[in-house]
Amino acid sequence: MSQVYEEKALQALEELGLSVAREHLDSASQQAAAGQWSYSHFLGYLLCAETEARRHRTVELNLQFAKFPLQKRLDDFDFAAQPSLDRRLVEELATGRFLYEGRNLIFLGPPGVGKTHLAIALGVLTCELGHRVYFTNALEMARRLSLALSENRLHREMRRLVHPKALIVDEVGYLMLDKTQASLLFQAISQRYERGQSVILTSNKAFSEWAEVFAGDAVMASAALDRLLHRCTVVHIRGESYRLKEKRQAGLALAEPSVKQNGKKVQ
Ligand code: ADP
Ligand code: MG
């Protein structure tokens, strides 16, 4: 009798698509017998293996979908090197609450201060929370949208940008957009705003300079800013480029003549 049900259990797990639980059934049953587990302990153990594997797979897929140019994590961010940044604010952002509030994040500052690093790190956390993220930079996004427009498939391209839980638009303002590109960027921002979905954006340009970003169109720039800033956390990062600082420190270390070996100075 019990063997019939063992067979049925395997079949049922298969039919229900619980392949990990199916794979673990035999070993889990043996562990349960040896450890005299309660029935619910056994069931919990078996189902947790399935949900864990699914969670893992979802995160992997989310990371693939995101197209991050590099993997950056918050743990690798040296807060001591960036005293202008409020660590507690970044830690609050890392809870992911901004995603559920549909809040946007804008990282502003000069090159090299960690804007892209932080945007990616928060994107990775979003993937780990089980959500889709899409990473792009302003120029690439605008180019892809213009191409899609000219090939009559704008709607599909726009969906890719509008649907993920978070859209990261890196490097807004590094290069000028033309009129069409600016208008398409505006449309994407606008559609995400209407859906209450977060945008994480990085820029080296102060808001007062955003007319330039939008092909000289001050009205469009202010309409875009209006939507972006309605629910938004703006993070200003000041200070020195991390790259330059590292280089400078390496340079100083190399130039340092008083390295001593066995008490003797070596040049
Ligand atoms: P930005 O986007 O502001 O120009 P990035 O985020 O690209 O700057 O940072 C440049 C490089 O320096 C990246 O490799 C990044 O990981 C690193 N970096 C910047 N700030 C920090 C920091 N505070 N701690 C660790 N790495 C940093
Ligand atoms: Mg950057």
Asked whether the predicted pLDDT for residue 267 surpasses 70, the reply is no
**Residues in CB range of 102: below 8 A, 6 or more apart:** 195, 196, 197, 198, 231
Residue 253: pLDDT band (50, 70, 90) is low
DSSP bridge pairs for 232? 104
Among 89, 167, 92, which Cα is nearest to 123's? Answer: 167
Ligand 1 centroid to 226 CA: how many Å? 28
Residue 105 Rama label (left phi>0; alpha psi -120 to 50; beta): beta
Q: What is the best residue among 105, 168, 242 to mutate for testing ligand 1's pocket, by most ligand atoms within 8 Å of CB?
A: 242
Spatial neighbors of 233 by CB under 8 A, at least 6 apart, are: 89, 93, 98, 103, 104, 105, 106
Indicate the pairing of strand 259-261 with strand 166-172.
unpaired
Give Cα separations from 14 to 5, 31, 39, 170, 231 (angstroms).
14, 21, 21, 44, 46
Confidence of residue 266 (pLDDT cuts 50, 70, 90): very low
Core vs surface per residue 75-100: b (16+ CB within 10 A) or e: eebeeeebeebeeeebeebeebebbe
Share of the chain above pLDDT 90, in %: 85
Percent of the chain residues past pLDDT 70, beyond the cut: 93
Residue 10 has pLDDT above 70, yes or no: yes
- Comparing 118 with 238, which gets the higher pLDDT? 118
Spell out the alpha helix ranges (H) of 163-241: 179-195, 210-213, 218-230
Which two tokens mark 47?
A: 């189902």
Residue 111 Cα: closest atom of ligand 1: 4
pLDDT at 255 over 60: no
Residues with CB under 6 A from ligand 1: 72, 76-78, 81-82, 109, 111-117, 202, 242-243
